[in-house]
């Protein structure tokens, strides 16, 4: 379907539409939009081959601001719409834009099934731990006890751990980044694009109107270094303002240690192909404010090569044509048993 | 005695037994054989919703009725001439559907104390001996024992032996109607021959034994001859409604130059469409068994966005789940075929029984002003033509379209003079092409008010669509009040305009004007047709118009309604079409409703017409 290559290389500007971007001033979505627009020209995909599909929520207005093909669908169903598109048009570069409410609440079912099927798509899940568009109710990722309009006495819902859920659904690319770290986010977006299969990027996004500062601990210069670990392939898990702390694996139990006591060589070395370790890493999730425990990891937790649904479906179709020949309509209409009346 | 065959015009046989007795197979084998003898026929499978209801109970009775003959056949028959029962429960459930002085062929092994009690007969009650069957022509045979005897020499276990007892009955009925066993022997060979030769041999032996039993035993004196029907010359095949629907979708896709994507979720009685389509991947058909009904339709919408023909099928409760996505498809103005094989409702209702109570759901059942064209098939083979037409409208008018079938059509079978590929009309999708120096506007329309279909992958057609209200032309999000009024009116006008591209309503049977018009839609066709033809033969001034297009209606419908003193609308619901007709045409149409999970009989309709006639 693709026509000849663009004569002039694409720039971030080409990906902007004539529509006014209408997120609240200061919204984290602006940064995510900007990083996506600056990465897309470099990923080797023609603009006409890019498709952005979203559900409902603040994040889901995203396709209107990308000068590519796009669909703003219905609540929670972007993953389902994208499945049909990708199954029929595997050559397209399909990006799913969704939020924590959209994908983990109403769309939870479709999310896990897309991941297990491993469609070759990229999911950008904007997590702000709140319902923004409906003006501030708690979301499936809001912390226990969250006071909102719908939970004035505090929420009694146990929150989802999105990446653990993602691992449980056998995703083949699992990553976390945040709106306030543009360089990191761009890097992860590129890696997700390179990954063949379903890429899930949880992006911590600040909703400065209804849930301001939810991730400040991980983005503020003063607290960031003590509370985050940046995952780097083949590198030891080191963190801390002085980079003086690390994680070791004591059997199946991760432990925080001081580098005064343990040498860097003995630390947990990040290996994104290790499923068991990834399962543990996504569990570094308790609230440091409350428990002061493990630092929150960012980066690519897990990555695996597995056949994609879109390839498998289309290969099966081609194999059937190879075996039985391209369907003859008259043969189908005739069926197996006919009789003649003179 | 067996040499004298009495010639009969048409016969209705009802096979009934426990749902584990292989009744559906017996019935469909008999149908295939009758079809190959050139009989016209119509069938009505009727089975319980449970996979295995308690054995021997009335709840577990499975039935298969076939009406075949040397004359035209439009229904599976009001009452049966022959009732074949494998156990007491089957008799208990179906005796009221046997004609006076009809024949009962009965497996006595199914009438022991235990079976009688399971069927709900009182302690001393036994229909074989207590006079219940005195007025019928009763044929008793111990099918179980005869089957076991026939298989004495084989190494099969008792359970496996008993499993072939339906073949004994089938063989016997073949003898009664002077039919050859070839079709069924071929079927058994292809089904078991390679995989389990011993089972194949056993089934064939029992089938032949049943035939021989008819010939040698003197229990049954009559043998019948049903000559081929005087059907229009041509080549025929047998087809079931769901099968015809699936073939119709593939044919329409081919003639539109579109590959097909089917997103669906299993549900009775629609699942066979998924089963049929998934066999035909080499026709460019992609089937996707989605995680739920919503994903089924949403994936189909995604496929349509990508330039394939998106199709989804379900039944009432599943359609209810798809409703929000239907609204999206209306806003997106993409082609989408939505098949509803209706069943008894509300909620889970009567999953294996038929009803036509989703018309309101199809025509009106969405939030907001969301018009969707609706078409309904009238017979099993008509599912082909109607779904083909529904697809044409979806593609050429860029809209979701409802195709309504029902359980009765889905599982019913009839001979079909199938078309050749060349006979089928071409379908013309309106794909957008970039125009040098002109900005692409996704919601620009042609004279039909139809927008162009711009698919991802084409440079300079990049655009965004979605569920929010669109600005006219650009498709940008718009909350402008006047624009919303305009777009609402335009979407309605687009659907109304389809009336310019469909045939006018014809009178299907009977008189072109007169006292009573019987107006029907869907699977009531055969019963209405039979009733109206009989009434006309008796001198009544009655006509029958059957609607294929339910939204929009054919342009001349008001004029057609005006040619009769009365309009009667029989429906298997509580009065849905009748409401719409009254609303749109301000006529005093009379409702005739039946919501029993079973189709109308022709006699019921005849009586009702006669009643109105004299009013």
Residue pLDDT, tens place only, B92-146: 999 999 999 999 999 999 999 999 999 999 988 899 999 899 999 999 999 999 9
Task: Name the nearest CA neighbour of B269 among B46, B452, B455.
Answer: B46
pLDDT of B3: 52
pLDDT of B220: 63
Q: Which chain A residues touch B460 with a CB distance below 8 Å?
A: 48
Best mutation target among A84, A314, A334, A342 (most B Cβ atoms within 10 Å) is A84
pLDDT of B4: 65
Element housing B590 (H / E)? strand B590-593
pLDDT of B53: 82
Q: What does the pLDDT look like over B497-528, one tens digit per residue? A: 999 999 999 999 999 999 999 999 999 999 99
Rounded distance, CA B159 to CA B440, Å? 69
B302 and chain A in contact, CB less than 8 A: yes
* B44 has pLDDT over 50: yes
* B556 has pLDDT over 90: yes
What angle do the packed helices B293-305 and A108-117 form, to 10 degrees? 60
Cα three-residue angle B120-B125-B130, rounded to 5 degrees: 135
3-state SS, residue B438: coil
Rounded distance, CA B560 to CA B556, Å? 6
* A291 has pLDDT over 70: no
Element housing B11 (H / E)? strand B10-18
Burial class (CB in 10 A: 0-12, 13-18, 19+), B303: buried
* Sign of the dihedral defined by the CA atoms of residues A342, B6, B9, B12, in that order: negative
pLDDT of A305: 98
Q: What does the pLDDT look like over A146-162, one tens digit per residue? A: 999 999 999 999 999 99
Question: Which residue in B280, B310, B421 is closest to A84 by CB distance?
Answer: B310
* B406 has pLDDT over 60: yes
Q: What does the pLDDT look like over B46-60, one tens digit per residue? A: 888 777 788 999 999
Contact B237 A70 (CB under 8 A): no
Contact A71 B280 (CB under 8 A): no
ipTM: 0.96
Segment among A251-265, B473-487, B563-577 with least mean pLDDT: A251-265
What pLDDT band is residue B2 in, cutting at 50, 70 and 90?
very low
Rounded distance, CA B283 to CA B261, Å? 11
* Selected residues 217-246 of chain B with any CB under 8 Å from a CB in chain A: 228-229, 231-239
Question: Which residue in A72, A85, A339 is closest to B36 by CB distance?
Answer: A339
**Sole residue written with tokens 């009725």:** B65
Name the percent of chain A lying above pLDDT 90: 91
* Selected residues 312-331 of chain B with any CB under 8 Å from a CB in chain A: 324-325, 327-328
CA distances to A148, B139, B248, B389 from A152, rounded to whole Å, are: 5, 76, 56, 55
Q: How many CB atoms lie within 10 A of CB A316?
A: 12
Q: Strand locations in chain A, DSSP E?
A: 50-54, 69-72, 93-99, 121-127, 130-131, 137-138, 173-178, 199-204, 228-230, 238-239, 245-250, 253-258, 296-303, 338-341
Q: Write the Ramachandran bin of B586: left for phi over 0, alpha for psi from -120 to 50, otherwise beta.
A: left
Q: How many CB atoms lie within 10 A of CB B20?
A: 17
Q: Which chain B residues touch A72 with a CB distance below 8 Å?
A: 464-468
pLDDT of A6: 56
Exposure string over B528-560, b if 16+ CB within 10 A, otherwise e = bbbbbbbbbeeebebbbbbbbbbbbbbeebeeb
Furthest-apart CA pair in chain B: how many Å?
A: 91
Q: Strand locations in B19-60, DSSP E?
A: 40-46
Residue of A nearest to B231 (CA): A341
Q: What does the pLDDT look like over A65-77, one tens digit per residue? A: 999 999 999 999 9
- Bridge partner list, B400: B336
**Average pLDDT, integer, range A263-267:** 94
User: How far from each other are the two terminal CA atoms of chain B, in whole angstroms?
Assistant: 52
Task: Name the nearest CA neighbour of B602 among B527, B547, B536.
Answer: B527
Best mutation target among B179, B295, B453, B468 (most A Cβ atoms within 10 Å) is B295
- A165 within 8 A of A112, measured Cβ to Cβ: yes
Contact B477 A64 (CB under 8 A): yes
Rounded distance, CA B79 to CA B94, Å? 10
Cα three-residue angle B275-B281-B287, rounded to 5 degrees: 55
Q: Which chain B residues touch A106 with a CB distance below 8 Å?
A: none
- A302 within 8 A of A165, measured Cβ to Cβ: no
Contact A313 B301 (CB under 8 A): no
* A1 has pLDDT over 50: no
Segment among A5-19, A200-214, B158-172 with least mean pLDDT: A5-19
**Average pLDDT, integer, range B278-284:** 96
B460 and chain A in contact, CB less than 8 A: yes
What the block records as the tokens of A81 is 């719409």
Rounded distance, CA A270 to CA B301, Å? 41
Contact A84 B298 (CB under 8 A): yes
pLDDT of A5: 53
What is the separation of C-alpha A9 from the centre of its chain, rounded to a whole number of angstroms? 27
Phi, psi at A218, each rounded to 5°: -95, -10
Contact B231 A341 (CB under 8 A): yes
- B237 within 8 A of B416, measured Cβ to Cβ: yes
Rounded distance, CA B243 to CA B247, Å? 6
Cis peptide bond upstream of B552, omega within 30:
yes
* DSSP output for A31-97: HHHHHHHHHGGGTT--GGGEEEEE-SSSGGGGGGGBSSEEEE--TT-HHHHHHHHHHH-TTSEEEEE
Residue of A nearest to B419 (CA): A333
Rounded distance, CA B211 to CA B200, Å? 17
Helices (H), A195-236: 216-219, 221-227
Q: Which residues contact B612 (CB under 8 A, 6 or more apart)?
A: B516, B566, B568, B590
Strands B464-466 and A69-72: parallel
Query: For chain B, what is the radius of gyration of the CA atoms?
Result: 27
Contact A109 B292 (CB under 8 A): yes
- B110 within 8 A of B119, measured Cβ to Cβ: no
Rounded distance, CA A227 to CA A238, Å? 11
What is the separation of C-alpha B334 from the centre of its chain, rounded to a whole number of angstroms? 27
A/B interface, count of CB pairs below 8 Å: 219
**Average pLDDT, integer, range B173-186:** 93
Strands B542-547 and B509-510: antiparallel
**Average pLDDT, integer, range A95-121:** 98
Going across the sheet that includes B10-18, the strands are B40-46, B61-69, B10-18, B80-85, B98-107, B137-141
* A2 has pLDDT over 70: no
**Sole residue written with tokens 């006008």:** B493
Rounded distance, CA A296 to CA A212, Å? 19
Q: What does the pLDDT look like over B329-349, one tens digit per residue? A: 999 999 999 999 999 999 999
Residue of A nearest to B299 (CA): A84
B257 and chain A in contact, CB less than 8 A: no
Cα three-residue angle A229-A230-A231, rounded to 5 degrees: 105
What the block records as the tokens of B461 is 């057609």
Kindly report the nearest CA distance between residue B292 and chain A, in angstroms: 8
Mean pLDDT of chain A: 94
Kindly report the nearest CA distance between residue A245 and chain B, in angstroms: 45
Q: Which chain B residues touch A329 with a CB distance below 8 Å?
A: 250-251, 254, 283, 421
Q: Which residues contact A196 (CB under 8 A, 6 or more apart)?
A: A120, A305, A308
Mean pLDDT of chain B: 95
Task: Name the nearest CA neighbour of B416 among B24, B32, B13, B8.
Answer: B32
B455 and chain A in contact, CB less than 8 A: yes
Q: Strand locations in B475-547, DSSP E?
A: 509-510, 514-521, 542-547
Element housing B15 (H / E)? strand B10-18
């Amino acid at each position: 379907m693709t026509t000849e290559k663009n004569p002039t290389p694409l720039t971030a500007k080409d990906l902007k539409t004539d529509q006014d971007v209408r997120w609240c001033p200061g919204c984290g979505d602006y940064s995510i939009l900007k990083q996506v627009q600056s990465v897309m020209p470099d990923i080797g995909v023609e603009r006409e081959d890019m498709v952005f599909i979203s559900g409902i929520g603040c994040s889901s207005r995203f396709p209107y601001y990308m000068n590519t093909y796009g669909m703003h669908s219905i609540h929670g169903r972007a993953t389902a719409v994208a499945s049909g598109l990708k199954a029929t048009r595997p050559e397209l570069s399909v990006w799913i834009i969704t939020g924590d409410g959209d994908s983990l609440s109403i769309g939870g079912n479709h999310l896990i099934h897309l991941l297990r099927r491993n469609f070759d798509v990229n999911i950008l899940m904007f997590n702000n731990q709140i319902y923004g568009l409906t003006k501030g109710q708690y979301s499936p990722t809001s912390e226990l006890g969250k006071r909102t309009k719908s939970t004035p006495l505090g929420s009694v819902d146990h929150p989802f751990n999105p990446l653990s859920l993602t691992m449980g659904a056998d995703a083949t690319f699992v990553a976390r980044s945040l709106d306030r770290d543009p360089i990191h986010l761009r890097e992860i977006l590129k890696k997700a694009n390179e990954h063949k299969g379903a890429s899930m990027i949880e992006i911590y996004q600040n909703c400065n109107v209804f849930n301001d500062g939810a991730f400040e601990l991980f983005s503020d210069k003063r607290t960031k270094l003590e509370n985050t670990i940046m995952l780097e392939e083949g590198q030891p898990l080191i963190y801390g303002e002085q980079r003086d702390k690390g994680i070791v694996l004591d059997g199946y139990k991760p432990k925080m240690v001081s580098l005064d006591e343990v040498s860097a060589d003995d630390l947990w070395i990040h290996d994104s192909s290790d499923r068991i370790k990834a399962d543990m890493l996504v569990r570094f999730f308790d609230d440091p404010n409350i428990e002061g425990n493990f630092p929150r990891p960012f980066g690519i937790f897990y990555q695996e090569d597995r056949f994609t649904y879109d390839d498998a479906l289309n290969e099966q179709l081609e194999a059937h044509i190879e075996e039985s020949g391209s369907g003859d309509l008259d043969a189908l209409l005739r069926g197996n048993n006919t009789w003649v009346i003179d | 005695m067996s040499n004298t065959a009495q010639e009969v015009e048409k016969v209705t046989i009802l096979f009934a037994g426990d749902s584990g007795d292989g009744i559906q197979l017996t019935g469909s084998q008999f149908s295939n054989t009758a079809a190959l003898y050139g009989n016209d026929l119509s069938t009505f499978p009727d089975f319980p919703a449970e996979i295995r209801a308690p054995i021997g109970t009335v709840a577990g009775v499975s039935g298969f009725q076939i009406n075949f003959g040397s004359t035209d056949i439009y229904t599976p028959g009001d009452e049966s001439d022959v009732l074949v029962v494998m156990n007491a429960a089957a008799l208990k459930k179906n005796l009221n559907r046997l004609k006076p002085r009809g024949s009962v062929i009965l497996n006595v092994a199914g009438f022991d104390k235990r079976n009688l009690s399971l069927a709900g007969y009182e302690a001393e009650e036994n229909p074989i001996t207590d006079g219940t069957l005195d007025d019928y022509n009763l044929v008793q045979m111990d099918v179980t024992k005869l089957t076991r005897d026939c298989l004495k020499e084989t190494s099969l276990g008792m359970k496996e032996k008993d499993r072939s007892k339906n073949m004994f009955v089938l063989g016997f009925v073949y003898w009664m109607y002077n039919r050859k066993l070839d079709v069924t022997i071929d079927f058994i060979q292809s089904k078991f021959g390679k995989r389990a030769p011993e089972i194949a041999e056993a089934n064939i032996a029992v089938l032949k034994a049943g035939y021989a039993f008819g010939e040698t035993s003197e229990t049954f004196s009559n043998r019948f001859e049903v000559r081929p029907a005087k059907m229009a010359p041509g080549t025929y095949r047998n087809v079931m409604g769901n099968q015809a629907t699936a073939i119709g979708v593939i044919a329409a896709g081919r003639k539109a130059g579109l590959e097909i994507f089917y997103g669906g979720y299993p549900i009775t009685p629609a699942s066979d469409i998924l089963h049929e389509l998934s066999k035909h991947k080499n026709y460019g058909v992609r089937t996707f068994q989605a995680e739920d009904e919503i994903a089924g339709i949403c994936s189909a919408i995604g496929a349509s966005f990508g330039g394939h023909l998106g199709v989804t099928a379900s039944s009432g409760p599943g359609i209810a789940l798809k409703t929000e996505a239907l609204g999206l498809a209306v806003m997106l103005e993409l082609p989408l075929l939505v098949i509803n094989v209706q069943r008894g409702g509300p909620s889970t209702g009567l999953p294996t029984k038929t009803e036509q109570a989703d018309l309101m759901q199809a025509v009106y059942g969405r939030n907001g002003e969301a018009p969707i064209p609706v078409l309904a098939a009238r017979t099993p083979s008509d599912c082909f033509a109607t779904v083909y037409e529904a697809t044409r409208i979806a593609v050429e008018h860029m809209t979701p379209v409802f195709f309504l079938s029902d359980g009765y059509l889905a599982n019913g079978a009839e001979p079909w003079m199938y078309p050749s590929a060349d006979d089928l009309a071409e379908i013309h999708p309106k794909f957008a092409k970039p125009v040098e120096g002109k900005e692409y506007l996704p919601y620009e329309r042609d004279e039909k008010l139809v927008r162009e279909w711009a698919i991802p992958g084409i440079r300079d057609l990049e655009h965004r669509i979605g569920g929010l209200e669109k600005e006219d032309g650009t498709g940008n999000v718009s909350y402008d009040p006047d624009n919303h009024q305009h777009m609402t009116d335009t979407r309605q006008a687009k659907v109304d305009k389809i009336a310019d591209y469909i045939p006018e309503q014809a009178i299907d049977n009977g008189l072109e004007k007169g006292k009573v018009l019987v107006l029907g839609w869907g699977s009531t066709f055969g019963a209405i047709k039979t009733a109206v033809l009989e009434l006309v033969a008796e001198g009544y001034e009655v006509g029958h118009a059957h609607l294929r297009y339910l939204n929009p209606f054919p342009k001349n419908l008001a004029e057609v309604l005006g040619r009769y003193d009365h309009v009667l609308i029989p429906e298997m619901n509580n009065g849905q079409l009748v409401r719409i007709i009254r609303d749109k045409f301000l006529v005093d149409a009379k409702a005739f409703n039946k919501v029993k999970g079973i189709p109308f009989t022709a006699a019921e309709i005849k009586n009702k017409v006669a009643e109105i006639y004299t009013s």
